[in-house]
Structure 1
């Protein structure tokens, strides 16, 4: 029932976290879309302003050139005549070469200027020239029309308009300035076509959209005798602009999504790890319980035999049963010590007391005292040609570590004699003890787990009694000494365990 409730809680938590992730992702996606739409609006406004500004700059230039040209006395004559009916001066701009030709002069009056043009008064003529040029700008240039008020002035205007015609080279810095004012720093280009829709109804090639996903509205260029009649601005992906606008809010959302996702994954990994640990602990409890029951049952049977069947009257039988009981109780005591050691190891409370230790003597002594199954023999080779024999280690825990490895090599050997090869080497200020056996070996998918507490290889080895703590205990001892462990193995070819001790 508890396991079922736990599964329900896990499922509910997973669904809740997944919903939070989906909602957060949906919000971020929508927020991104809103800012992308804002970007499109901003670049369209900037492009329109840039076109107007670029055109205005061209008009300013042509206006100034017209005013200067009107001051050329070899081309034009600026005169005035009093009009009594209107009570004001009428100013005439005439072709200097053909002043009486009806198509070569133009007359105008100004509301705020009513002064006669005197011979030699170039300052006042300059005022008239500038005002006349301004009128031509507002009436002609800004409406993309050239009126031939005088033939030579009309021709001059046409030449200057063609000279200062629409050009993307002049438009680019202007648009860049307006984009900078809006905080937009996205690569852009221009798209010129002979025909286009100013209502933005055009369809574009996919390759173009892949490179420039944002395309502004179309505007006329008013270029003369050219196929470049319409222009658009093309922009690359606005991701950096959107990120810059959203700032900490967008970053916070991304971080929140990442944290929630990481928490969910971490929670699931912890739950799976706990489930696996629970399984191996149950296996451990089953094994240790069985090992407790065996000596208890044997000792109980011996004591029961002593209390009946007249055994006490037979000294030899009494001694035999007492010996059996003592042996089983000794086994039980050993198991109790092992369980207590496991508890201390689990709490991580064991302390090491390093001292100079001769590994040659210790390892060879342990190998000499190792026991194998009756009828089998232990063959071992020990090789240390490094010239280094002394390490600083806790003698008791060093013996525990080596004994665990030698014991594993014996227990998991193939049927028959046991062969162990121990080689000593030095690398990067570590003394490396390599213990190689020719046992059954370990599969590659089990190797990363063999140093975990209570883990036992699931197949092929459970005919051997064990608790899944040996290698974990060894690793902990070596790491407490500032070293490291590494295992290499192949099924059917044996296992090599490397223990590195600081020197």
Structure 2
């Protein structure tokens, strides 16, 4: 996968994530606004209902029909005369939608349709039970079905109204902080009306709030009742809770899937690069011994080397060395495959660790006389159970990497711990960067140097070392000393 194509995939995936989040935010915002409107409507309806309840209670305590009241159906306008506890009133046009009266003290009557139920059926409900003359009782259900009478002055008792609102909010499961404000007009003589107001719980009320105005017809003439409320976000979010959770789960699932896809693509890209690098290195590693063997065989055939015993043995020795090298490389690849399939079994025996380390360091010192090797044994002989063959190969891989990639001085140190032994190997070279210190233990991973072969290897040495150390119930990691040098740290436990 080329870099340009990979970049386009990144852009597309990022765009999908942004669009997904934007759509979910829009849906949640739209749902929030709808629920906000629903809450406002619910609060307004509760306020209207509370106002009606308030005036219904006033009606129950104020409405009395005297025994001599009657309906004069022969009159020009049907008329009902009755008394309240405080005044005598006359209602006219009782078959109209709004019952008019000779208004005194701002008293009014509202008519809500005909038929269906008699006053007796409404007993115990919002509307009061009326008593009157027999003629009135028999014919009232044919005249009106529901009548609300509002005997009011110019103002309301907001404290009493607040009790009705609290009960209605509790019944409707509305939990908001609210305040009330009543505006009304009064007249003095024939002059212009004066606007007055009264409020409840409005002191220090938050400036950021929602407002509803009651639409109840029971209010006094030219008055306006407003309810301010806040803390509405919690109630609105409760209404949207399921939608928000589903939206969050959907968005999280989509984003997680896309991120997983991106990581998979990135990993596949890295594997492709590693594979190409591995093939290139394997080709080079195998090409050298094969070319050497071919040259030896060609020389033996062309120059009658067989007649010269000394040359013959020399050429055969060269071919044998290269054959062993090929065999060793094949064995490493096969061992790596067996490690991945968990087929490798260790044969552990007690070994003195410092003697094993001295032997390995001595071998590399002889093969690389230009390098300086130091072995530090601070604790004398330490015996642990290891598979000598695989453990020696594991240590050799680290020292070999130090020879190939490191400086001219290579250090090995052994320390005894409470739980076992600690082995430290480092050199004075440039070392391994922190962003690559975990990757170097991955199979076939090599520090990218392009298609160059100044350093030999397949990128399986440290992977093999890590697996062998782990099979010995140990741990290998990369740390940095006070000089900033890269240190391979091996921790082994006593069995």
TM-score normalised according to structure 2 size: 0.66
Mapped partners of 2:490, 2:390: distance in 1:
13
Partner of 1:203: none
What's the secondary structure of 1:344's corresponding residue?
helix
Q: RMSD in angstroms over aligned alpha carbons?
A: 4.9
Indicate yes or no: 2:170 matched with 1:177. yes
- How do 1:290-439 and structure 2 match up within 5 A? 290-354=284-348, 356-371=350-365, 372-384=367-379, 389-415=382-408, 417-426=409-418, 431-439=421-429
CA distances 1:286-308 after superposition (whole Å, capped 9, x unpaired): 22222222122222222222223
Structure 2 residues not aligned, in runs of 5+: 74-80, 87-103, 105-128, 135-145, 185-204
Partner of 1:122: none
Q: How many matched pairs? A: 413
TM-score normalised according to structure 1 size: 0.65
Mapped partners of 2:428, 2:164: distance in 1:
81
Partner of 2:475: 484
Are the equivalent residues in 2 in contact too, given 1:452–1:472 (CA < 8 A)?
yes
CA distances 1:464-491 after superposition (whole Å, capped 9, x unpaired): 3222222222222233344433212489
Of the structure 1 ranges 481-490 and 435-444, higher mean CA displacement relative to structure 2 is found in: 481-490
- Of 274, 282, 292 in structure 2, the residue corresponding to residue 288 of structure 1 is 282
Mapped partners of 2:83, 2:232: distance in 1:
54
Mapped partners of 2:260, 2:160: distance in 1:
59
Mapped partners of 2:411, 2:13: distance in 1:
57
- Of 230, 233, 241 in structure 2, the residue corresponding to residue 234 of structure 1 is 230
Are the equivalent residues in 1 in contact too, given 2:360–2:396 (CA < 8 A)?
yes
Partner of 1:471: 462
Structure 1 residues not aligned, in runs of 5+: 71-77, 96-102, 104-109, 116-134, 147-160, 196-206
Larger helix proportion, structure 1 or 2?
A: 1
Are the equivalent residues in 2 in contact too, given 1:21–1:261 (CA < 8 A)?
no
Are the equivalent residues in 2 in contact too, given 1:483–1:501 (CA < 8 A)?
yes
Q: 1:314 to 1:398 in 2, by over 3 A?
A: closer
Indicate yes or no: 2:48 matched with 1:48. no
Q: 1:358 to 1:310 in 2, by over 3 A?
A: closer
Q: How many Å apart are 1:462 and its aligned residue?
A: 6.4
CA distances 1:303-348 after superposition (whole Å, capped 9, x unpaired): 2222233433333222222222222222222222223223323444
Partner of 2:149: 138
CA distances 1:416-466 after superposition (whole Å, capped 9, x unpaired): x4333343434xx57543333333211222223222222222359963322
Are the equivalent residues in 2 in contact too, given 1:434–1:498 (CA < 8 A)?
yes
Are the equivalent residues in 1 in contact too, given 2:50–2:161 (CA < 8 A)?
no
